[in-house]
Amino acid sequence: MSYNGKYNSTACGFIGVLTSIAIGVIIGILFALGFIPNIVTAVWIAFGLAVLTLVILVIAVFLAVYTESKILSKCLKRHISCLMAGILGTLISALAALSIVLNPAFISVVILVGIGAFFTSLMIISLVLFVLCIVDKLHRNDGVFCTKD
Please give the pLDDT value at position 56. Answer: 93
Would the pLDDT of 1 be above 50?
no
Instruction: Give residues with Cβ within 8 angstroms of 142, minimum separation 6.
Output: 148
The larger pLDDT score, comparing residue 72 to residue 14, is at 72
**Cβ pair 120, 73 in contact under 8 A:** no
pLDDT 10s digits, 82-124: 999 999 999 999 999 999 999 999 999 999 999 999 999 999 9
Domain ranges of the chain: 14-139
pLDDT 10s digits, 38-89: 999 999 999 999 999 999 999 999 998 898 778 888 899 999 999 999 999 9
Question: Per residue in 91-120, is it b (16+ CB within 10 Å) or e — as a string?
Answer: bebbeebeeeebebeeeebbebbbbbbbbb
Cut 0.95: pTM above it: no
